Copies of this chain bind each other. A is one copy, B any other.
Amino acid sequence: MSDRYGELVQSPLGKKVAKNLGLPMPIKLDRYEIGQPVIRGEVAFGTAFGGDELVASIIQNVLFDLDAKITTAEHLNEKLTDENAKFKVAIFDATNIKDVDGLKKVYEFFHVLARRIKSSGRVIIIARPECCTGGDVGFAIAQRALLGFVKSVGKEFKKGITANVLYTQIGAEAHLEHALKFFLSAKSAYVSGQPIYIKKSDGLDEFTVVDFDENKPLKGRKILVTGASRGIGAAVAQVLARDGAKLYCLDVPQNLADLQKIAGNLGGYALPLDITEANAAEQIVKACGVLDGVVHNAGVTRDKMLANMSEDKWDLVMDINLKAIHTINDYLIKNQGISDSARIVCVSSISGIAGNLGQTNYAMSKAGVIGLVEATAKQFKGTNQTINAVAPGFIETKMTGMIPFAIREAGRRMNSMSQGGEPVDVAETISWLLSPKADGLNGNVVRVCGQSLLGA
């Protein structure tokens, strides 16, 4: 959908007017393009108290791999004497901060950088989750405090700059690589203000991906996308095809024409099927065989105030958005419908997190999805299978295009990016979670919301 205001304030005159009136000034966010470097500028890298050796070496390897030009903390002030010195990325290893006093290191590093981060820049802090603080209250305080800092930075820095904390379990450092490559890149354009939890994979310690191709990270992976004929689902199918997946595009038989067009264009297989049918899961297995990935994207809204909500509106939303996912997962898990290293990604919603007026049914279904992901993630402990959710905020689609203008404008601007996200932003996040290298991510609910103000 077109964001005319967003285009207007990027014109020379519009920019001037908007600035004078104090209006939001969304910038055009960097997005992933084949051939473009992953990091489009220089990197500032700091640590508190030397940081963690393993974390530091992984960060350095990743940056080296990406040909990044790095300035470390000890050379930062010198570098900044050049008034034109700017950074695309500021990354800080805070894992060694074990008390309140130590948090001063965060201030020192980011204070001088605050005006020196470029548009669509990245702020990334590596931290430890509470389970790694060993009952040391000071350590737990410091690590938890980082999230409050990062969320404030996301709101302050603006200019399309994202800020996130990667809470990395001790022993899970190897999984940082996959997370860093996403958060450093333009693929994470609309993910900001989030804690990401990176865990040890509990399965085979030696699970390694053979023949991994950075340009085709999903090569050879058989992945099912539900609701693939339009909107976010269609964008997911496109990104997964770009990333090399062997695609199964599912949608209701009524959408067969659109579905076949999309599947056809992407070299995928069109699977017209109503997921609420009693034997839907069986039909999926019959059509797809053993899947390496499932994206539960199909979903509907039927908004009404609870007082006016009919039973069929309630049932339809609950059946499609929640019950079908549970039924299908249950069948696939019990009947070897997914592979040993399968990745399941469910689409939740900010509504599921925050609730929404007129959406008791939708919000309940999407909150249930979070419960499903958390409970199934526990079930997957000790395997190489994972399950995660994405929770989109305001995404520019045909669906949101039908929201009345004033409400749509409010939804669009009430986030740190001052703009709605694109379906591709959700799709990139999903593809990242589907990667065979994503075994350190299990049980996460990743908001793709540009740090929406709406929340808990």
Contact = CB atoms under 8 A, between A and B. Distances in A.
Interface of A: 99-101, 103-104, 106-107, 110-111, 114-115, 130, 133, 135-138, 140-156, 193, 305-307, 309, 311, 314-315, 318-319, 322-323, 326, 329-330, 351-361, 363-372, 374-376, 378-379, 447, 453-456
B140 A357 contact: no
Counted per complex, copies of this chain come to: 2
A140 B355 contact: no
Contacts of A143: 371
Given A151-B367, A152-B351, A156-B358, 16 more contacts: A100-B318, A100-B322, A107-B306, A107-B360, A111-B306, A114-B307, A137-B372, A141-B322, A144-B372, A148-B363, A148-B364, A148-B365, A148-B366, A148-B368, A150-B355, A455-B456
Contact of A368 (B104, B144, B353): B144
A99 to B, nearest CB: 8
9 contacts: A101-B323, A107-B361, A130-B371, A137-B376, A144-B368, A148-B365, A151-B355, A156-B360, A447-B456
Contact of A151 (B149, B354, B378): B354
Those 6 A-B pairs whose CB atoms lie nearest each other, nearest first? A455-B455, A151-B355, A144-B371, A148-B367, A145-B368, A114-B307
B104 A152 contact: no
A100 B379 CA distance: 19
Q: SS class of chain A's interface: helix, strand, loop or mixed?
A: helix
A100 B153 contact: no
Nearest to A333: B137
Contacts of A354: 151, 453, 455
A192 to B, nearest CB: 10
A146 B370 CA distance: 11
Contact of A364 (B99, B152, B364): B152
Nearest to A308: B114
Nearest to A319: B100
Contact of A306 (B114, B136, B456): B114
Contacts of A114: 305-307
B149 A360 contact: yes
Contacts of A115: 307
Contacts of A453: 354, 453-455
A375 B133 contact: yes
Given A107-B314, A155-B355, A326 B375 contact: no
Contact of A135 (B146, B307, B378): B378
Nearest to A356: B152
Given A144-B367, A371-B145, A330 B137 contact: yes
Contact of A375 (B141, B156, B311, B322): B141
Given A326-B137, A357-B156, A364 B318 contact: no
A369 B455 CA distance: 19
A356 B193 CA distance: 11
Interface centre among A318, A322, A364 (most CB of B within 10 A): A364
